[in-house]
Amino acid sequence: MNSKKNNKILKIITVRIKYIITLKMNKPIIITLHGGCFVGGSASWDAAQTKCLTDLGLDVRQLDFPKDELEETLTYIHKYIKEIDSPVFILGRSSGGFLAKVLTDKYPKLIEKAIYLSPVFNPQLRANINTKFKSKQDHYFRNGYKYNTSKFNKDTEILFIATHDENVPKECFTKKQIESANSNCLGIRSHKGMTTTSSKAFCSMIKQKLNL
């Protein structure tokens, strides 16, 4: 009697596990890249925003990528994305926004849509304007970089910038990029506020932009 009951319980548990796995597999995947002036930072910074994205039905993959040299970082992230069977969304915060932009431009077939939160699209200009970032960026880009991040596709790229961002001023963006960001304005003033936001307005806009 107990054996039959145990078998029945085991079957129920197995069905539920399979159901959970199926739900997980069917969720759209979003790769998130943290900030930290290229050589620092941690995925653990973004817990509140990750919850917001998860609540929208996304399978959030917070990558703890190498942070010593640009090409090493790009190779690591590209390899991770390439191993996923379907196109993914990508979200980059601050310096992670630069990485997301480069990857989106290089591998458009792998990335369905990109979200940038106060991204450092132009590291060289940013370091010239705000010299406190120069030494870290000089180390990270010590082998140079050849990427032009001025192109922008409003159909596949979603840009958010803060209204008074001291870390990444508006001079670091093209006119087209600023126009696109203005259409997504959340009224957030600071760099930190923009990169960590989990506001209802942000979550609602992401849901709409990603057709969730």
Residues 54-91: tens digit of each pLDDT: 999 999 999 999 999 999 999 999 999 999 989 999 99
Which CATH code fits 29-209? 3.40.50.1820
Listed by start position, the domains of the chain span 29-209
| pLDDT at residue 3 in the model | 64
User: How long a stretch of residues is the chain?
Assistant: 212
DSSP state of 24: H
- The whole-model pTM stands at 0.88
Closest by CA position to 36, among listed 26, 46, 27: 46
Residue 172 burial (CB < 10 Å; 0-12/13-18/19+)? Answer: buried
Count Cβ atoms below 10 Å from residue 139 Cβ, excluding itself.
Answer: 12
88's CB contacts (< 8 A; 6+ apart) are 28, 29, 30, 31, 81, 110, 111, 112
pLDDT at 44: 85
Q: Within its chain, how far is the Cα of 93 from the centroid?
A: 6
Return d(Cα 109, Cα 139) in angstroms, integer.
31
Ranges of residues in the chain with a pLDDT under 50 are 14-23
Nearest to 98 by CA among 76, 112, 116: 116
